[in-house]
């Protein structure tokens, strides 16, 4: 597992074994059962989660009482509610396991300390944050402008794993189409 961490962190920045050991020593491993919450709406998010295995969704309840899924994530992805995490305010979204999920959890206070002892880590998280920003921007600006059918095709093409592992009604929520229409699209 330390190997998975080392490989992941070395994607953008080279860390020595000593540095990886130091980072690793600050990570807490936790396994969440299907439907368990990593974060619940209203809680203050104090951690950043690195998924070792499993599958999660981020969602919030809109003003009509509907669940709105904004993100799926699986192994080797980071998830958090950035606003809650950075500003210490209650989270407006929840993060929930869709499958049994194992995550490495880094506490914000510990991460701040690590930034001081291993400044290269700033670069790693700058790049991770840039990538998150690009993904969110793309989904909102481009993806949700596409026709429903094109969105589904795009999902199938780029994230076939999601289409296989995520329940259909969640895929429909993420794509902002009705489950009925998704079912029709799948039959074609």
| Residue nearer to a second copy on the CB measure, 133 or 161 | 133
Question: Which is closer to a second copy, CB of 25 or CB of 119?
Answer: 119
Least Å distance between CB 45 and a second copy?
12
Nearer to a second copy, 1 or 135 (CB): 135
Question: How near is the Cβ of 136 to a second copy at its closest, in Å?
Answer: 6
Q: Dihedrals φ, ψ of 134, to 5°?
A: -60, -45
CA distance 177 to 149: 9
* Dihedral angle sign, alpha carbons of residues 121, 122, 125, 126: negative
* Dihedral Cα 43, 45, 46, 50, nearest 10 deg: 130
- Tell me if residue 82 falls in helix, strand or coil: helix
CB of 185 to a second copy, least distance (A): 18
Closest contact distance (angstroms) between CB of 172 and a second copy is 18
Measure the CA dihedral 127/15/54/166, to 10°.
30
Q: Which is nearer to a second copy, 119 or 164 (CB)?
A: 119
Q: Is 80 or 101 the residue whose CB approaches a second copy more closely?
A: 80
Residues that bind a second copy (CB under 8 A): 60, 62-63, 68, 70, 82-83, 86-87, 92-93, 115, 119-120, 122-123, 125-126, 129-134, 136-138, 140-142, 145-147
Least distance to a second copy, CB of residue 94, Å: 12
């Amino acid at each position: 597992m330390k190997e998975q961490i080392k490989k992941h962190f070395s994607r953008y920045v080279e860390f020595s074994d000593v540095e990886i050991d130091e980072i690793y020593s600050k990570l807490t491993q936790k396994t969440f059962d299907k439907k368990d919450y990593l974060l619940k709406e209203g809680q203050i998010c104090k951690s950043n989660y690195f998924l070792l295995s499993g599958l999660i969704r981020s969602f919030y309840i809109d003003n009509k009482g509907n669940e709105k899924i904004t993100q799926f994530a699986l192994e080797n992805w980071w998830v958090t509610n950035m606003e809650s995490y950075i500003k210490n305010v209650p989270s407006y979204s929840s993060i929930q396991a869709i499958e049994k999920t194992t995550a490495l959890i880094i506490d914000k206070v510990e991460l701040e300390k690590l930034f001081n002892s291993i400044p290269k880590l700033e670069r790693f998280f700058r790049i991770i944050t840039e990538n998150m920003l690009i993904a969110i921007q793309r989904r909102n600006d481009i993806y949700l402008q596409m026709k429903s059918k094109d969105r589904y095709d795009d999902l199938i093409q780029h994230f076939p794993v999601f289409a296989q592992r995520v329940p259909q009604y969640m895929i429909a929520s993420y794509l902002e189409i009705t489950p009925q229409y998704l079912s029709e699209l799948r039959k074609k």
